[in-house]
Amino acid sequence: MMTRLLAALAVLTVATTASADVYDATEAPAQKDRYLGVTTTGGASDSFLRLGISADGGHRIGSSVWFIHAQAATGVSGSLFARGRFTALRGGLEARRCAGYDTQVCVLAGADAGVMHDTFEVTTQGNTMSGSSNMPMIVPRASVEIGSTVRVRAIVEAAVYGGPDPETGVNVALGLGYAF
C-alpha cells in the first residue's frame, strides 16, 4: 500500500513539474500593444474655460515605443460673457514607456493635430448673439499612468488653436485607461 502511494505521489510530482510554467522574476512582463481610455477634461484658453469628457485609444507601431493616437472630446465652454459647447477630434503620435511588474508606471509624451468645433452665445448689454467656429489645433501632451490592465491616468496638455483669432491654452485630464 505504501509503495503504491509513493508511486502515485512520484507520478503526480513529475506530471505537475513537467506542466508548470517557468517564471523568471527578473524578466519584465510583455508590453501592451493597445489601449483605450476615458477622461474628464478641464482647460482654459485665452478666451474660454472648457469642461468635458474624452475618449481615446492608441496602437503600438511594430515593437517600437511609438503609438498612433486618436481622441474625441465634447463638453461645455464659457467665459464672462459667453457660453457654449465644443466637440474636438484629433490624432497623432506618442512615445510610451512602462516599467514595473504587477503594477506598471507608464510615462508618455506626444502631439496631436485636429479640429475643434465651438458653438456659443454671447450676451452683452442685454443683446444675445450666437455663432460657431472651427479651429485647427495642435496639442503637445504628457501623461503618467499607473496600474496593470486598468490604469489611472493623469494628463497635461498645451493646446494651440488656429483660425482668425489664434489662442493658446492648457488642459488637464484625469481618468481611466484599459491596456491590452
Torsion, Cα 29 112 53 173, to 10 degrees, reads 60
Taking the C-alpha atoms of residue 120 and residue 83, their distance in angstroms, rounded to an integer, is: 5
- 9 pLDDT band (50/70/90 cuts)? low
| 152-168 CB burial, b ≥16 within 10 A, e <16 | ebebebebebeeeeebe
Residue 18 has a pLDDT of 47
Domain 33-179 sits in CATH 3.30.1490.20? no
Is pTM, for the whole model, over 0.85?
no
Domain boundaries of the chain, sorted by first residue:
33-179
Could you report the per-residue pLDDT of 114-163, keeping only the tens digit for each?
999 999 998 888 889 999 989 999 999 999 999 999 999 999 999 999 98
Rounded to the nearest 5 degrees, what angle is found at the Cα of 143, between the Cα atoms of 32 and 105? 50
Beta strands in 10-103 (DSSP E): 34-45, 49-60, 66-78, 82-100
